[in-house]
Structure 1
Amino acid sequence: MKNLQLTKLGFLLFLVLLCGCSDSFVIDTPAEAGNSYESDVHVLNKFVDISEPVQKYYINPNKKSTVLSYITNSDLEELNAVNSLSASRYEKSLFRLNEKISQAISSHTVDYVVMCTSSQIFVDRINDDSPIELKSAGFTTLSDNLVVSLLDISSEEMSSREIYSGNLVQTGLELNPSLYAMDHWIFRIRCEVGEPTDRKTAWVLFCGVGYFSAASFNWLVLDSYDNRISWNFTGESMLDETMPSIAQMVFFK
């Protein structure tokens, strides 16, 4: 009888331990654990569009990034799988980026705003009296054979490059590959044209969501037809965090 009671007691203790272990040993499902912010950013970047009339970025859940997504709706499935905390953090980042764009425009400190996504380039002229005309030449593959100079754009220091050209300068913009996992990037370029005694200045705000390998731009100085003009370009980061290299501006022949 005593052995039977001990057996029952041992069985009860086993059940208590089993329940305790099952409560503390919970395996997170993918939905509960969530993705990393970087992987969620890669998904969210696909759905960002540009509202050109108001110079703002916004999330467009109906945006299709590939032809296949029109058939399978795979992009929307990815969007629905994004962690809610990541989505909230990302929306705050877009809000801060839009604020910086709005402040630059309202304070009249930029001549142009260049807004980019992985598939769009929008160039908006803010100052009608700007001494230059800036146009996008689209996404392109840059050729090293045509490069005459490079300008590194960093948050650690401001750097400048001076070149001599005619009234047209063709440049390429190469983003740092690490921006692939970032929610946004932003910097300014100061473009000074002419000799020191008669120099004209234009400021261009470059910003973007998502990554592209290279994009090209044409800079044209207005009211000048000289074959040898001094162009001075200076890059200035506007990111909140420190980043040794944001992008490179490439100058072509």
Structure 2
Amino acid sequence: MSTHQAVQNETCKDIQLNGFAKLSTNKLAGLIGINPASFIDKWKKLHTSWNNLCKDNHLKDGGMYRLRRHSCFIQNLNESALTLTAHRAHWQPTEFNALHGGYDRMFEPIEQDITHDQSFLDLITELGKCFATIHPTEKWFIEAHQFRINTNGGIGRPTPEGAHRDGVDYVVVMMLGRHHVKGGETRVFRADGPTGVRFVMDEPFSAILLDDEKVIHETTPIQPESEHFTDCYRDTLVLTFRAGGFQSPQNNM
């Protein structure tokens, strides 16, 4: 059995058993089927695009701490095709996001250098294949979100909506890097009970994969490690996979 197949089997087993799977950088590289050193090198180059994110103008808490970009894809599993869609708004029902749900939020698209990069596309493609072994489907409707949470106002909130589900089938949170911050504890709990785990994602290019039906998740606020640091932030890539079409007022009625 190849490393790729072994990692995929273990990952799927964890998701089915626990509702989530934590993947180290090496395991994520194995899931994609690439040498870890090459994987790290490629994603270090991609990470520079997080310096070009745009202010999130939709934060209802008045914060200025979140920068982001957003793009959507459709993965056709039968044809092994991943297609970038026309740029569209991000929409969630208030059932899943009471703070920012119920209306269209338009963000700047992810830069073309990223959406056309083979390493970026391979990540999405292999994650989609992995999820399809658990939840067979012909298509995944995928939303990709680049996030930078900074502490320019003293504190940054990765999940201002609190503990939540996203209203999709699967969620991936990939850690790109933490720069002079403390806090940011990731919390994952069963949606049907008190069982859960808490940990800090601090390994660059590691990830957590979530079954959105089974678990709720949140990340606690971040603060500067020291008052002497001024450029403090936490960078992540969030991918959501949904079989029933993109979330919209029409699809969620």
Scaled by the length of structure 2, what TM-score is found? Answer: 0.31
Bigger-Rg structure (1/2): 1
Scaled by the length of structure 1, what TM-score is found? Answer: 0.31
